[in-house]
Amino acid sequence: INQYYGEELREVLVHGDAKLKNIVCKKDGQTVFVDWGTCGKGFLGQDAAKLLLDVRRNEEVGNAVIQAYTHDQKGNVDKERAGGLLFGVVISSLVHIVWRVEEDIPKAQKLIAQYQEEESLGQEQKDKYLQEQEAIIKQKQDEIRAWNAKIELALKNLGSF
């Protein structure tokens, strides 16, 4: 991010759990965040990135979040906010990838090894279980590749700002 903007992102007050479940529309039309139990110091874009990741399966809502956060009222791109959002998405994605690698894949590999050592099961049962676990590992690896592609696309698009 700094190579594009030449400065570090500002530290700001963040909600810490900016998800749809913590956004309320009041009767007067005002939209507010609730549940401030995890608020504290963070970086510009951190909450917007968390919200964007929460709505990522709904392209229309995701695009609206991006547009609203990265553009001013005149429609001009705010590079600092756009950089903050991208940085937040990249960091959140990397954390997600690390979690997947550190938690899911080794766990599945350990279960495979334990299952192969189980003497009371027939070879057919062991082979079936092995195939199921290998499919899970492949699915997790595919998810990691998808996240990497999203990160690469986001970094490429950042250059257009």
Q: Which residue has the higher pLDDT, 9 or 80?
A: 80
| Full-model pTM | 0.53
Angle (CA) 13-71-75 rounded to 5° is 150
How many Å apart are CA 22 and CA 42, to the nearest integer? Answer: 18
pLDDT at 4: 45
Do 96 and 157 meet the contact criterion of CB atoms below 8 Å apart? no
Most distant CA pair in the chain, distance = 70
How many Å apart are CA 20 and CA 156, to the nearest integer? Answer: 28
pLDDT at 64: 86
Taking alpha carbons only, the member of 30, 24, 42 closest to residue 15 is: 42
The stretch 134-159 carries a mean pLDDT of: 73
Chain centre distance of CA 25: 24
Q: Which tokens belong to 113?
A: 């090894």
